[in-house]
Amino acid sequence: MIEVGIVGGSGYTGGELLRLLSFHPEVEVVVVTSRRFSGKPVSSVHGHLEGIYDLSFENPTLAEVGDRCDVVFTAVPHGSAMGIVPELLGSAKVIDLSADYRLPPRVFEAVYGLEHSDVRDAVYGLPEIHDVTGHDLVANPGCYPTGAVLAAAPLVSERLLSLAVFDSKSGISGAGAGPSMVSHYPVMAENVQPYKLTTHRHSAEIVQELKRFDDDLLSISFTPHVVPSVRGILTTAHLFTIESMDGEETRKLYEKFYYDKPFVRLRKTISSLPAVRGSNFCDIYIETDDDNNRVVVITAIDNLVKGASGQAIQNMNIIFNLDETTGLWQPGLAP
């Protein structure tokens, strides 16, 4: 059995890691840390796990966590992981769900306004794009970049785009477990709230990943919104091609690119959030606008699963040479 630890297990991503790992036949969760809830049962915070785990939150040293685990998921705030990961590597593999290792240090510092104290290489853990095999440190992608990059990658990889515009709608859980105006019911009920229209931190990840395919891509634009849904991200990608492409040609390109990617589903109807809620799938729908040299791609993911904890487990499966679907092959919770 793979012995698993979670550092920072009291938030939404920590709880989702625990829920998903409970289905996994090859792992045992041996330690879940939380300074705030140390000594309290995991189910006292994550009530849906009552009777599933006989574990309490702990506050051990990082050295102890590393010694007890084969792999550790770090589900901590941005800027915190860089002080934790060096204490774990060498004893355990690490899959980091924060932003600390997704970007080069100088880019991270510019985007997040924090000095980076741990300069080391990590593989960007979007398994449909990057091979994480053999790596000890995986930087799990952000939720918005997951849907955006998967929407555009097949076209960008062929250097067919001149402009990519992403419009994303996220459920409120993307704001985290702590109460805020974004998660306040009177503010968000019956509302669609755009925010950080040109300055969202995930823009840097989207640019980084698409520029890996085509550094000449002229422009990439991303605008996020919060909607009154608990889970899910629906991204509409307006992908402007250098030349007109017909629908059949475009679909074949996507089928070829994702033919061996089990968690990407190419849909014949428009992607919807209920179809992926609670699952690790990314549903993709494609339509072409020949008059404007535009391909419209809709992606739907669960921000807490494919956008966070499920993708982290998918990465764990790969680095431990398991089938990447192990413990994750389950449908969404529609309706």
- Cα angle for residues 57, 3, 124 (degrees, 5° grid): 95
CA–CA distance, 32 with 59 (Å, rounded to integer): 8
Phi and psi of 4, rounded to 5°? -115, 140
10 Å Cβ neighbour count for 272?
18
CA–CA distance, 54 with 184 (Å, rounded to integer): 32
Q: What does the block give as tokens for 167?
A: 């419009």
CA–CA distance, 279 with 328 (Å, rounded to integer): 7
Which contiguous run of DSSP H or E holds residue 314? helix 310-319
Q: What does the block give as tokens for 308?
A: 């966070």
Is residue 143 part of the annotated active site? The answer reads yes
How many CA within 13 A on the CB side of residue 298? 14
CA–CA distance, 220 with 69 (Å, rounded to integer): 40
Q: Identify residue 230 by its one-letter amino acid code.
A: V
Report the DSSP pairing between strands 233-241 and 294-301.
antiparallel
> By the 8 A CB rule, do 75 and 6 touch?
yes
Annotated active-site residue in 7, 76, 111, 143: 143
CA–CA distance, 69 with 54 (Å, rounded to integer): 18
Report the DSSP pairing between strands 71-74 and 27-33.
unpaired
10 Å Cβ neighbour count for 48?
10
Catalytic residues: 143
